[in-house]
């Protein structure tokens, strides 16, 4: 069984920054993809970014491109999402998800294991 746990959410001022962390464990393959998704109240879940464990290839949604940066530390089995220039529309519950394969996509149906979510609130 694969477990993913997010942390690092909180309250931040507009224009501020936060770094989210995702700890992944229990996988039996060196080839997997970690994705970040978010969901605000009353809105559909949307993909934010993803990264492939093997080579570190990344993909970003247009809404966060240039502001967010995803990275991984395979030794620590950690994935990070550095969020900068945060705006109120970034307020959401952020979820980390894992898929057992190498694919660079934010199609959420390809992710089988999901974390509990961490709340990010951007407000003055």
Give the pLDDT confidence score for residue 27 in this predicted structure: 67
42: left (phi over 0), alpha (psi -120 to 50) or beta: left
Alpha-carbon 72 to chain mean position: 11
Give the pLDDT confidence score for residue 104 in this predicted structure: 87
10-residue stretch averages of pLDDT, the chain, 124 residues long: 92 98 79 93 96 92 97 90 98 95 88 96 96
Give the pLDDT confidence score for residue 71 in this predicted structure: 96
Give the pLDDT confidence score for residue 55 in this predicted structure: 86
């Amino acid at each position: 069984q694969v477990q993913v746990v997010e942390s690092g959410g909180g309250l931040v001022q507009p224009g501020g920054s936060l770094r989210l962390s995702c700890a992944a464990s229990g996988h039996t393959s060196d080839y997997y993809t970690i994705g970040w998704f978010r969901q605000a109240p009353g809105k559909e879940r949307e993909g934010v970014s993803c990264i492939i464990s093997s080579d570190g290839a990344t993909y970003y949604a247009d809404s966060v491109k240039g502001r967010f940066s995803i990275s991984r530390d395979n030794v620590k089995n950690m994935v990070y999402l550095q969020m900068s220039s945060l705006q109120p529309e970034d307020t959401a519950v952020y979820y980390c998800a894992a898929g057992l394969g190498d694919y660079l996509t934010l199609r959420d149906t390809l992710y089988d294991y999901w974390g509990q979510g961490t709340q990010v609130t951007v407000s003055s």
